[in-house]
Amino acid sequence: MIVTNKYYLITLGCQMNEHDSEVICALVENMGYIATTMPEEADLIIINTCAVRKKPEDKVASLLGKFASLKTNKPNLIIAVGGCMSQQEDAAKYLKNRFPYLDLIFGTHALPRLPELISEAGNRKETIIDSEESYIDREGLPVAHRGRFKAWLPVIYGCNNYCSYCIVPYVRGRERSRNINDIIVEARKLVARGFIELTLLGQNVNSYGKDLPGQVTFAGLLAELNQIEGLERIRFMTSHPKDLSHDLIETVKNGEKICEHFHLPVQSGSDRILKAMNRRYTREQYLDLINIIKEEIPGVALTSDIIVGFPGESEDDFLATIDLLEKARFDNAFSFLYSPRRNTAAAGFTETLTRKDKEDRLQRLNDVQNRISKEINESLADQIVELLVEGESKGNPEILTGRTRTNKLVHFKNSENLTGKLVQVKITETRTWNLIGELQLKLDNKYV
């Protein structure tokens, strides 16, 4: 009787990590493992970690604590920790010392070596660490896409910006753009397999092409992808304001497949704090940029990231951030408490706020943003919007959920499962975080 080994994978962190997990799935499935959703059934457990804040790192410790007993009952169980936390040598050593039953610790750069690392881990008693700084090209690695009609498509890895609070350049390395033809070929293959929405990924997609020979730009890449027959929607994240070109704004405006949504982290509304963060733009430059985007692309959605409680942030700095929110009127903003990251420039800055101070400011900021998000959604009442239906809502199969081109979440009633279809829905009710609608039209032109 052939026993098939099972693997259990947990992914923490960003979209790039989710894509890395799709690569990990393909690599271990090519080794003969099949996926299980039950850790107690697994012969291989992998945690794909995130190091962007303390919280996801603490989550790793609690998960590993939970898995210790499984190892006692199943000594041949392989437990591996990958991702951004493992890419840092000191964090990898910390994991090895604190969780001696770990079999493998592998960084983001070790993905191409994962199959051999897992085979080796199965035959060795001591913990294997691979947090190699140097990276080998990961082009051509297999990907087990989780979706059926939406897929991630990385276009650039790493980041050269070294914002003072950010760990990413230390765990993802310097910027490496993928060859434009490789991206287009992969996109065509995905569309041929039925994917109709592609999200282009990069820590800073606006830097795409700067390290490639010739005049290759992100706007140029988008314009090429916009030609692909059968592709319905193109999204991209994340943009850095200092590199966002007018060319890109024009391309989004004129590209019928390119969704009208920019995720443009601002982080703070105070020039003093933006300087300390090494963001290399001023609040005025940022506000000018988003006003141009709004003028050029009416109805465009803008979302952002904000850090609250950066070392030295005074009440005036904080009020400058609130004032920027009022002026920018983001559709949504993801706000986080400042979390010092080892080895970053800001890790050496003196913290001036208590956790309570930070949490109070976070609440005040979210109250303002919630009001703005609600007002913007209210302006969509009675509008007819195009949705890509993502599936049935968890609680009720008769309620379907989809996203607009501006990335708004809309729920609507329908007996037929229209998952993966493009439909038109009339907005009948608005809320802070989502909308309710009525189905008008299936975009394969058959009226309901």
Residue with tokens 């493009």: 422
Q: From the CB of 108, what's the least distance to ligand SF4, in Å?
A: 13
Name the token pair of 68: 């210790």
Write the binding mask 154 to 193 for ligand SF4: x where contact by CB under 6 A, - elsewhere: -----x-xxx--x-xx------------------------
Cis peptide before 199 (omega within 30 of 0): no
Write the binding mask 200 to 219 for ligand SF4: x where contact by CB under 6 A, - elsewhere: ---xx---------------
Residue with tokens 């951004």: 84
Name the token pair of 440: 């008008």
Q: From the CB of 268, what's the least distance to ligand SF4, in Å?
A: 12
Q: From the CB of 165, what's the least distance to ligand SF4, in Å?
A: 7
Q: From the CB of 248, what's the least distance to ligand SF4, in Å?
A: 16
Contact of 109 with 87, CB cutoff 8 Å: yes
From the list 99, 167, 157, 169, the residue with the least C-alpha distance to 129 is 99
- DSSP-derived letter for residue 216 is -
Nearer to ligand SF4, 113 or 280 (CB): 280
Name the token pair of 357: 């101070």
- 403 forms bridges with which residues in the sheet? 388, 409
Nearer to ligand SF4, 77 or 307 (CB): 307
Nearer to ligand SF4, 169 or 420 (CB): 169
Q: From the CB of 357, what's the least distance to ligand SF4, in Å?
A: 23
Of 109, 233, 235, 240, the one binding ligand SF4 (CB under 6 A) is 240
Angstrom CA distances, 252 to 183, 221, 235, 296, stand at 18, 11, 10, 10
Nearer to ligand SF4, 304 or 377 (CB): 304
Using alpha carbons only, what angle is made at residue 261 by residues 369 and 224, rounded to the nearest 5 degrees?
Answer: 165
Nearer to ligand SF4, 162 or 334 (CB): 162
Q: From the CB of 263, what's the least distance to ligand SF4, in Å?
A: 11
Q: From the CB of 244, what's the least distance to ligand SF4, in Å?
A: 12
Q: From the CB of 342, what's the least distance to ligand SF4, in Å?
A: 15
Q: Which long-range contacts (CB under 8 A, 24 or more apart) does 125-130 make?
A: 127/96, 127/100, 127/102, 127/103, 128/103, 128/104, 129/86, 129/92, 129/93, 129/96, 129/105, 130/104, 130/105, 130/106
Q: By rule CB under 6 A, what count of residues binds ligand SF4?
A: 10
Which amino acid would we find at residue 259?
Answer: C
Report how far residue 368's alpha carbon sits from residue 230's, in angstroms, rounded to the nearest whole number: 41
Nearer to ligand SF4, 127 or 207 (CB): 207
Nearer to ligand SF4, 235 or 411 (CB): 235
Q: Does 49 bind ligand SF4 (CB under 6 A)?
A: no
Nearer to ligand SF4, 169 or 437 (CB): 169
Name the token pair of 208: 């795409």
Report how far residue 281's alpha carbon sits from residue 270's, in angstroms, rounded to the nearest whole number: 11
Write the binding mask 28 to 47 for ligand SF4: x where contact by CB under 6 A, - elsewhere: --------------------
Q: List residues near ligand SF4 by CB under 6 A.
A: 159, 161-163, 166, 168-169, 203-204, 240
